[in-house]
Structure formats: C-alpha cells, structure tokens
Structure 1
Amino acid sequence: MPRVVPAVNRALDVLELFVDCPELSARQVMERLDLPRTTVHELLVTLEARSYLISVPGQPVRYRLGMPLFQLGAAFAGRLDLVREAQCVARDVAAACDEAVHVAVLDGADVIYLVKFDSTHPVRMVSAVGRRLPAHCTAVGKILLSDLDPAGLDAVLTNGALPGMTPASITDPERLRAHLARVRADSVAVDIGESDTAMRCVAAAIRDHSGATIAAMSLSAPIIRWTAQAYREWTELVREGAATLSTRMGYRALPR
C-alpha cells in the first residue's frame, strides 16, 4: 500500500474544519484537532502562504478559506453534470411548491448536499450546500442507503449504535435495516423529525444511465405546513423531479 503522508493529512484536516465554520482562530484549530501549537502554526503558515487560508483583516490569528479552494470547487462542479442538471430540475420543483428542495449524494455513512433551492416563506429549513449529515437521519440518506448492496450497508452499520440527531432518529442498526426495506419497497423515504424536530422531508432516488442510484432529491417543509394533502402532493412532485433528473442523467426506465 502507498504510504499516506501525515503532514498532508493534517493540512486537509485543517481545511475540512472550515466546512462548518466560516472563520476559526489558531487556538480553535489546535483544540479541535488536538495538535501541538507548533504543528498548527506551521500548517496555518503554509496554507496561508499558498492562499488556501487567508487571515481575517485586523485579526491575524483568525483565518477563513481562500480563493484557490473556490477555484478547485468550481473546477470540480464544472465537470460534474449532476450538479448542473440538478440545479435546473431542483429550481423547477422548488418553484412548483415554494418549499426547500435539495439534491444530495452519499459519502460513507453521511450525505453531502450538492444543490439547494430555498422557499420564500419566513419559516423554512436551515441548510447549506456542502453540509454533511448522518445519512440514516435524513430522507435523502435513507433513499441512498436503501439502494446499497448488503456488503455496502454492512460497512455503514458495523460500529453498533448509530448517532442520533433528535429523539426521533433511528439509532438501532436492525431497526434501520427493517426501515430501509420498507423504503426500498416504497421507492420513497420520509424524515419525520429525525434530523430536525421542526421539519419533515420526503425524498426519491436519482439514477444514472446504468440504473444505479447516484443521488437523491428531497422536498423539505416545516411541520406547520406538512399536512396530509401537502404530503401526497409533495411526494408526487419529488418523485417527478427525481425522475426528470434521472432522465437527464441518462436513465431509461424499463417498460412494465
């Protein structure tokens, strides 16, 4: 096996801290990574010298992400047809219901949100592109987990009890397996306060030309707007949106 370079690993650990925090001090980086002060200083100086981090004006020991990371992200997104197509379809779905619409992919045991279109309502879901959440606590994540083969699902569920985000989160692996079997049969997943007690979500799968599930689309709304009638309408809307995006990704459903 090729050797992993520890210094590069630590530098990437530093950068990944900024995914959820727009600014961090040198002390915060040191505390969150549990690294010696000298090591953190050297990492920050190197990343700043390459402009991957920049000092906050007037606060030289506080940092934020630099332009090269935006350029790398833009280069990645520019080559990823899924993001471009998902933006178009998710925008249409969000316009049809005036609720938040997301497209996410699976990364290990988590989901990462690639696309988001918000509602215009004053009460709405708080989320962001690039956010990472435990897959089993979200509707998009349950759709993606339900399509894993047994070995893939076993790899996600090997560490015993799963972390919960709310009291409604499914934390028992065997209960989750049974739940995912129902999701697989229904071809739709619902988050009933499992990632946020005030929110409800419904999601459907996005497939590529080979028929593989590559992402999921969800529609999210606060519980105050989540009525039985709205749920039926939104389920159909997210199914249609996911199907449209799947078609754009080359998927062709087999005739029944």
Structure 2
Amino acid sequence: MQSLERFINILEAFSAEKPELNLSELVKKTGLPKPTVYRIVEAMVKHNILSKNPKTMRYKIGVKLFELGSIYLASMELRDIAFPYLDWLQQQTGESIHLGILDGNEVVSIEGLESAHSLRLKVWIGKRAPVHCTAIGKAILAFLPLEKQNKIISEVSLHPFTKRTITSKEKLKTELKKIKKEGLAQDLGEHEEGIHCIGAPVFDRKGEVIASISVSGPAVRMTEEKMKKYTPLLFKAASDISKKLGYSS
C-alpha cells in the first residue's frame, strides 16, 4: 500500500502547468526521499508510465498512461452510443441486458439494464466475468484475431463453474468456430446454474471486435423458443451499435 501511495504521489506531481519535472522537483513536490523517488520513477520509465529526456533528465507522463486513458475514453463513448439500443433491446425482451468489453483475459460489464421481473439476473456495472463460459465473453473471444484468441485460451484457467462449463481447450476452440460462423454465443448454465444467456459481437469502423452485448435471464423464461425469438433482436441491436461506430459489414 505504501508503494502504491508513493506511485500515485509521483503521478499527481505532474500537471498541465508543470508537465515536465526533474528529479529534484519531484522530491520537493512529493516530500519523499531522493533515492526512493529515483527508484520509483526509473521503474515507471521502464514500463512507459513515464518518459525521460536523456538530454534534460526531465520526466513527463509516458505513452502507457495515454493508452490506458484512450481505453477509458473509448469505453465511455461506447456506452453513450450503445445505451439507446440496449434500452430498446431490454424493452423488446424484458430481460437483463449487458454491454461488455475485454480487459486482459476477462470480460467487464460497462453498461447494463435489469429486467423488470422479480426473478431476474442482477446487473453489476464493473463486474468481471470469465471469458470462456459466458455468452458475452465468448462473443468477443470468437471474433478476435486467431493469435490473440489462442494466447488468451492458453492463459485462462478453464475453471468448471458448473457441470456444463467447457473445460477442454479443444472443445472451446470448436465452439468458438461455430460462434464465428453463426454470430451467436450462448451460455446455457455454463457460468451460473439456472441462467441462460445469448450474446453477439460489436465491431468498430476497422471491423475489429471491441465489445459484445447479451440478453440474460433465468432458464425458466429463457427457453430455447424464447432465445430463438430474441436472437434477431439481439443481432439488430449489435448491428445498429456497430454501424454507429462506423462499421460497414
């Protein structure tokens, strides 16, 4: 915790008025010992969190923070664009709707709407879920470049959340091929017992998958018949969001 606080103190020393600081200035602004500041800022430079001018020996915010900030801004823009279509989808189906993005080897819910039914799937913004056994995760995973997809599959633990969870990497790859062909991902109680979910990918103007949306509900309502009924509605919402993002199929 102390190391984290020192890391944050150093970052907060930079400002729009003072975008570049030398070591002495950082020591003065943070109140930390000079050896401590030097050790931390050099580690930050190594990971591109800060950059260092070798001529002036001054530090400034690095490209890594710009990249992370860009991800945040993109996700906020995505939420604003997607929300009307998520709302429409929720009204059409009456079930819980999620919008998720890939973060590392997990999928994170960045927007959602809850079903009005008393028996419903709770929507938690910011909730993380496994990528291999959720419809919202598989809908993204299936459309990633093969190299990235294989990397994620090799790294994730195919933990059996239920007896229906796919725990074989080969079976998962086979299912992902099917999802890519059909455009639809399903979770029939793979992550949570008694919960069924269908998901579809969202693409940006470059044709790259950047998110997915899903319709989720208890298995007693999300029957095979209902899922077939909701699939074209899900496809329409995902397609409309993609078009708004500049995607042309």
Q: TM-score, normalised by structure 2?
A: 0.69
1:96 aligns with 2:92: yes
User: Aligned partners of 1:193 and 1:110: how far apart in 2?
Assistant: 18
Relative to structure 1, the CA distance from residue 78 to residue 144 in structure 2 (aligned partners, 3 Å threshold; closer, same or farther) is: closer
C-alpha deviation, 1:113, in angstroms: 0.3
Q: Specify which of 141, 144, 158 is matched with residue 145 of structure 1.
A: 141
Q: 2:118 aligns with which of 122, 144, 159?
A: 122
Which consecutive unaligned segments of at least 5 residues does structure 2 have? 9-68
Separation in structure 2 between the aligned mates of residue 195 and residue 238 of structure 1, nearest angstrom: 20
1:118-197 aligned at under 5 Å gives the runs 118-159=114-155, 161-197=157-193
Cα deviation, 1:113-160, whole Å, max 9, x if unaligned, reads 011101100000123010001111100111111112222122112247
Per the alignment, residue 32 of structure 1 pairs with: none
RMSD in angstroms over aligned alpha carbons? 2.4
Unaligned runs of 5+ in 1: 1-5, 13-72
In structure 2, what is the equivalent of residue 20 of structure 1?
A: none
Alignment counterpart, residue 242 of structure 2, candidates 227, 242, 246: 246
Decide whether aligned partners of structure 1 residues 95 and 145 sit closer, same or farther in structure 2, where only a CA change above 3 A counts. Answer: same
**CA gap 1:11/1:135 in 2 versus in 1, 3 angstroms:** farther
**Cα distance change of structure 1 residues 79 and 129 upon mapping to structure 2, 3 Å threshold:** closer
Contact 1:160 1:173 in 2 (8 A): no
Q: 3-state DSSP class of the match of 1:201?
A: strand
- Taking only the aligned residue pairs, the percentage that are identical comes to 28
Please name the residue that 1:18 is paired with: none
CA distance in 2, matches of 1:179, 1:220: 19
Q: CA 1:146–1:79 in 2, change beyond 3 Å: closer, same or farther?
A: closer
Note if contact 1:93-1:238 (Cα within 8 Å) is conserved in structure 2. yes
**Alignment partners' CA distance in 1, 2:130 and 2:82:** 22
1:214 to 210, 221, 225: 210
- Counterpart secondary structure, 2:101: strand
Which of 215, 222, 235 is the equivalent residue of 2:231?
235
1:237 corresponds to which letter in structure 2? L
TM-score, length-scaled by structure 1: 0.68
What letter is aligned with 1:186?
A: E
**Which residue, 207, 214, 220 being the options, matches 1:224?**
220
| Matched-pair contact (CA < 8 Å) for 2:107–2:128 | yes
Whole-Å Cα distance in 1 between the matches of residues 106 and 193 of structure 2? 19
Q: CA deviation at 1:166?
A: 1.6
Match of 1:85 in 2: 81
Q: Distance in 1 between matches of 2:140 and 2:146?
A: 13
- C-alpha separation between the residues in 1 aligned to 2:192 and 2:238? 23
Question: The residue matched to 2:149 in structure 1 has which SS?
Answer: helix
| CA shift digits 1:72-100 (9 cap, x unpaired) | x9xx4697310111222101110111111
Question: Which moved further from structure 2: 130-139 or 165-174?
Answer: 165-174
Give the 3-state SS of the residue equivalent to 2:90 in structure 1.
helix
Distance 1:103 1:159 in 2: 24
Residue 227 (structure 1) shift:
2.5
- For the residue of structure 2 that corresponds to 1:95, the secondary structure is helix
1:201-240 CA-to-partner distances (Å, cap 9, x unmatched) read: 1111111111111100100111111223211111111111
Contact 2:161 2:190 in 1 (8 A): yes
